Amino acid sequence: MPEIRHNPITGDWVIIATERAKRPEEFVRPKERKVKPSFSPDCPFCPGNEDKSPGEMFRVEGAKEGWTVRSVPNKFSALIPVGNAARIENGIRKRIDGVGLHEVIIETPDHNGSLSRLPLSQVESILLAYQSRFLAFYQDERIKHVILFKNHGEAAGTSMEHPHSQIVGTPVVPGLIRIRVEEALRYYGNFGECLYCRSLRQELADGVRIVVENSSFAAFLPYAALSPFHLWIFPKRHGACFSNIAHGELEQLAVILKEVLLRVDVGLEDPDYNVIFRSLPPEEGSVKYFHWYLSIVPRVTRAAGFELGTGMFINTALPEKSAEFLRGIRLPG
Amino acid sequence: MPEIRHNPITGDWVIIATERAKRPEEFVRPKERKVKPSFSPDCPFCPGNEDKSPGEMFRVEGAKEGWTVRSVPNKFSALIPVGNAARIENGIRKRIDGVGLHEVIIETPDHNGSLSRLPLSQVESILLAYQSRFLAFYQDERIKHVILFKNHGEAAGTSMEHPHSQIVGTPVVPGLIRIRVEEALRYYGNFGECLYCRSLRQELADGVRIVVENSSFAAFLPYAALSPFHLWIFPKRHGACFSNIAHGELEQLAVILKEVLLRVDVGLEDPDYNVIFRSLPPEEGSVKYFHWYLSIVPRVTRAAGFELGTGMFINTALPEKSAEFLRGIRLPG
């Protein structure tokens, strides 16, 4: 019997096609393996080409020379950093000038690097860059929301090979964030505790969908995972804002993020994926009803009319089986 | 200056990349043109192969012999039509057995037909089939919501060449529908009129985003269109349910749907697209705050981490320019 599962955090109902469920291996997409060079002369993110992306905003210095992580303005930003973000209303119409911040965080000098296979210290440096730029973006009074994300591969929306993440500050609170906060607030009002803390406790108790955990974080497929390898990484300590993370937690986050991505990478043969940080602004970091977290979405399936029309998803894999598969992956080294 | 526009119907903010906006022609995706046969012996939807999709639920008889439109159970349905749809709650967990209805509406006997190029009478027959199955699905007490949609092409989520639509009845109200209804109800509460009627009046007054209209319908790119050729078709007469459409209106809907799709087809060289009917159930058809409509989404761009993370979209075309482009397409014949 197929199941329709409810995700109280998103409000989504997800159809879990239990009977026609595919085996995890069936989601491996054959793709042409391109051997990437470790340096590409035309790549604007490669060392030596720093003048192709001017205006560096942040860097982590290398042990010997040069940088190991840098953040630069996105050349193809849809938003621009000048002007004011006043609402312009005209009857039913409401608009704002496209004021905002958009940077690219170059994760490594190595053109053919991969977040899952970088040294742990490098992943920590990337997270430090995230944290630093996240806080800096919120210093701009025009910015109402900051989103950190990574597009890995073409199906995930990037054609740039060089490993990079992006950070965008918008002068509006995105609708999806508002809806998540409303759901969280409603639950907190009804039950007097954080919906996310409660969900994490339940996931840890169930155990079957946990992929890996450490002292500060747990990575799992949610009970109502939207897609075959839809993963969440929750901090165990309650907090609504990513930038309030303590130094020891940042190390633990690097460990778990690297391991989860490596399991995805090895198990599904380097699929395209997105990583998304969901967080409130620093000034809302101490609210009791919301909880920051990471979402990882390997792009092994595609949204069609049903998903566009309903916001519901059909997951053709059992989250429990997907978690078991990822737990069982033999990691190199 | 880029603009961020608000869509009061969806609650979405959309970044309109006015300065880096592409010309409409730039969204034409080169694709390998396959000449499809008008009959494919292995296609389960071709005439003569009716036994490959048994259990026909509806047909429109042909003038001479055979059928012109038929609706059959989806062989690959994620939901099954037997069982009960009771909520099963266990603490924070909530689930339902995957009970539901799912049919494929075969739009024509011609394997290489296309909705935009079928005779008008055939498009009317398809709409009649939609209406009939929509009403029939709601006769099942377990069904809480019915969604009608069409996936055209691989990027839109189908690999079946034979022209077809789908109809799914779920035992839950999808979250996206609930949110739309909440927004509509809030507006009605605040302003005492239907948000959709008000939006349509504004679009007709502005004129610049209208693609085509007739006595009963208007097709336009919304002010805050999510993507370069995101189109809405609104009925001019207020009504919350598609199946309450009058016979004369159904003809007008066939005319406008065919014309809009033909303009998309010719202008963008047969892009992949989704069509979605958004409607409340028949018993809610007379509510004053909601308005049924069609959404057409040519799949010329792709959602990445920013869209997944925020629910916001970046539209790299000006809706006004896209509308002008579609209005200017020379139609064959």
pLDDT value of residue A64: 83
| B308 lies within 8 A of chain A by CB | yes
Tell me if B308 and A149 make a contact (CB, 8 A cut-off). Answer: yes
Edge-to-edge strand order for the sheet containing A58-61? A58-61, A67-73, A101-106, A164-170, A145-152, A273-278, A293-298, A231-235, A217-220, A210-213
- Residue B4: its chain A contacts at CB < 8 A? 95-98, 170-172
- Residues B134 and B166: their CA atoms lie apart, in Å, by 11
- Ranges of chain B whose pLDDT falls below 50: none
pLDDT value of residue B33: 66
| B140 lies within 8 A of chain A by CB | no
Q: Structure tokens of A77?
A: 């930003």
pLDDT value of residue A178: 93
From the list A177, A178, A174, A176, the residue with the least C-alpha distance to A96 is A174
Tell me if B175 and A311 make a contact (CB, 8 A cut-off). Answer: yes
From the list B192, B196, B201, B162, the residue with the least C-alpha distance to B69 is B162
Minimal Cα–Cα distance from A333 to chain B, Å?
30
Name residue, tokens 């053109």: A111
CB pairs A-B closer than 8 Å = 221
Element (H, E) at B203: helix B195-206
**A129 and A11 in contact (C-beta within 8 Å)?**
no
Q: How far is CA A295 from the centre of its chain?
A: 5
| B24 lies within 8 A of chain A by CB | no
- Residues B135 and B169: their CA atoms lie apart, in Å, by 11
| B79 lies within 8 A of chain A by CB | yes
- Residues B217 and B320: their CA atoms lie apart, in Å, by 19
The CA-to-CA distance between both ends of chain A, in Å, stands at 41
pLDDT along chain A (333 residues), means of 10: 93 87 83 82 95 93 91 92 92 94 97 95 97 98 97 90 97 94 96 97 97 98 96 98 95 98 96 96 97 96 90 94 96 83
Tell me if A10 and B175 make a contact (CB, 8 A cut-off). Answer: yes
From the list A280, A206, A207, A269, the residue with the least C-alpha distance to A241 is A280
Q: Which CATH fold would you assign to the domain A3-328?
A: HIT family, subunit A (3.30.428)
- Residues B98 and B94: their CA atoms lie apart, in Å, by 13
| B160 lies within 8 A of chain A by CB | no
Searching chain B, which residue's CA lies closest to the CA of residue A167? B306
Tell me if A2 and B78 make a contact (CB, 8 A cut-off). Answer: yes
pLDDT value of residue B57: 96
CATH 3.30.70.1450 fits B3-21+45-327, yes or no: no
pLDDT value of residue A332: 86
Tell me if B4 and A175 make a contact (CB, 8 A cut-off). Answer: no
- Residues B98 and B88: their CA atoms lie apart, in Å, by 12
Q: How far is CA A268 from the centre of its chain?
A: 18
- Residues A315 and A223: their CA atoms lie apart, in Å, by 11
- Residues B19 and B317: their CA atoms lie apart, in Å, by 9
- Residues A306 and B249: their CA atoms lie apart, in Å, by 25
| B297 lies within 8 A of chain A by CB | yes
Tell me if A305 and B276 make a contact (CB, 8 A cut-off). Answer: yes
- Residue B8: its chain A contacts at CB < 8 A? 92, 94
> From the candidates B111, B164, B238, B291, which is the catalytic residue?
B164
| DSSP secondary structure of A151-184 | EESGGGT----S-EEEEEEESS--HHHHHHHHHH
| A3 lies within 8 A of chain B by CB | yes
The question of whether A111 is a catalytic residue gets the answer no
- Residue A302: its chain B contacts at CB < 8 A? 155, 157
Tell me if B308 and A276 make a contact (CB, 8 A cut-off). Answer: yes
HSE (side-chain half, CA atoms, 13 Å) at B167: 26
**B57 and B103 in contact (C-beta within 8 Å)?**
yes
Burial of A189 (0-12, 13-18, 19+ CB in 10 A): exposed
The neighbouring-strand residues paired with B296 are B231, B275
Please report the residues numbered 39 through 68 in chain A whose beta carbons come closer than 8 angstroms to any beta carbon of chain B: none
Domain assignments of chain B as residue spans, ordered by start: 3-21+45-327
- Residues B197 and B236: their CA atoms lie apart, in Å, by 8
pTM, two decimal places: 0.94
- Residues A267 and A281: their CA atoms lie apart, in Å, by 35
